[in-house]
């Protein structure tokens, strides 16, 4: 963990890491509760989309982008803010990571929220917790500020998330070894293999099997070691 003294950026995943749930599923429930009759009409379309994914005609990225289009199209900026407020209050947040984010702010470590979740609510989570930057699945707004449901670019997942982090890093003249990554998922292995301080937060089974091989440190082990040194993690 010698990279600690050179740490300049801490990157945090969202679902299963900063929050314990799948934020997009929670967001879907919020939208369904607000407009139940609309969702009765949309249900056959969603079912067809899910079926094409299950039988592998389409992949996860396609399903995610199409679902975002159905769920988020036509939402005003004011409604998006209201829904995001409900979402933030509905999710369970990892208190250890919130403490680490505070330590980042106190030690001039830049914080980035990097997630495959859609921009329509990720930006509000960014502001709520004081992240300096957010990388997410970007979405289009029209001239009035209304969300069209169209996705700009690719789903910010796996290799694409690594590419977005790398693009941000290059723009800011930083090196991978000066970055920490907190995540629970094997999908973030491309980024884990690059950063100087890879930390697993409540890792899922696939990630647990790969941690030793790639030098990924469990969060609790990392915190114990720094506590023994009477130093904060960051």
Total length of the chain: 234
What pLDDT sits at residue 5? Answer: 47
pLDDT confidence bin for 221, thresholds 50/70/90: confident
What pLDDT sits at residue 219? Answer: 93
| Pair type for strands 179-183 and 110-118 | unpaired
pLDDT confidence bin for 225, thresholds 50/70/90: low
Token pair of 123, please?
């930006």
Alpha-carbon distance values, 167 to 19, 44, 234 (Å): 25, 39, 24
In terms of Cβ atoms closer than 10 Å to its own Cβ (0-12, 13-18, 19+), residue 144 is: exposed
Closest of 73, 50, 59 to residue 139, by C-alpha: 73
What pLDDT sits at residue 40? Answer: 62
Q: Structure pTM?
A: 0.87
User: How many Å apart are CA 232 and CA 170, to the nearest integer?
Assistant: 28
Mean pLDDT confidence for 14-35: 91
- The 3-state DSSP class for residue 197 equals strand
The CA-based angle 70-44-36, given to 5 degrees, is 65
| 8 Å CB contact between 207 and 200 | yes
Mean pLDDT confidence for 176-201: 96
Token pair of 186, please?
């094997």
User: How many Å apart are CA 112 and CA 223, to the nearest integer?
Assistant: 20
What pLDDT sits at residue 109? Answer: 92
Q: Which residue has the higher pLDDT, 61 or 169?
A: 169
What structural domains does the chain harbor?
2-228 (3.40.50.1000)
- The 3-state DSSP class for residue 229 equals coil
What pLDDT sits at residue 58? Answer: 61
Q: How far apart are the first and last CA of the chain?
A: 11
């Amino acid at each position: 963990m010698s990279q600690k003294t050179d740490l300049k950026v801490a990157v945090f995943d969202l679902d299963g890491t900063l929050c314990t749930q799948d934020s997009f599923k929670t967001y879907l429930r919020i939208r369904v509760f607000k407009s139940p009759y609309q969702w009765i009409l949309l249900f056959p379309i969603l079912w067809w989309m899910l079926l094409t994914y299950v039988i592998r005609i389409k992949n996860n990225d396609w399903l995610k982008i199409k679902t975002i289009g159905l769920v988020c199209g036509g939402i005003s900026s004011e409604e998006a803010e209201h829904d995001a407020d409900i979402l933030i209050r509905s999710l369970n947040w990892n208190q250890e990571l919130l403490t680490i984010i505070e330590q980042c702010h106190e030690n001039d470590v830049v914080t980035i929220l990097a997630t495959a979740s859609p921009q329509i609510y990720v930006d509000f989570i960014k502001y709520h917790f004081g992240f300096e930057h957010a990388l997410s699945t970007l979405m289009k707004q029209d001239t009035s500020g209304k969300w069209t449901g169209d996705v700009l670019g690719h789903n910010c997942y796996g290799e694409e998330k690594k590419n977005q982090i790398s693009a941000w890093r290059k723009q800011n003249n930083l090196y991978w070894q000066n970055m920490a990554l907190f995540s629970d998922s094997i999908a973030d292995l491309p980024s884990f293999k690059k950063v100087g301080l890879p930390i697993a937060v409540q890792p899922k089974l696939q990630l647990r099997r790969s941690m030793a091989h790639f030098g990924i440190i469990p969060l609790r082990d990392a915190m114990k070691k720094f506590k023994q040194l009477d130093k904060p993690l960051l």
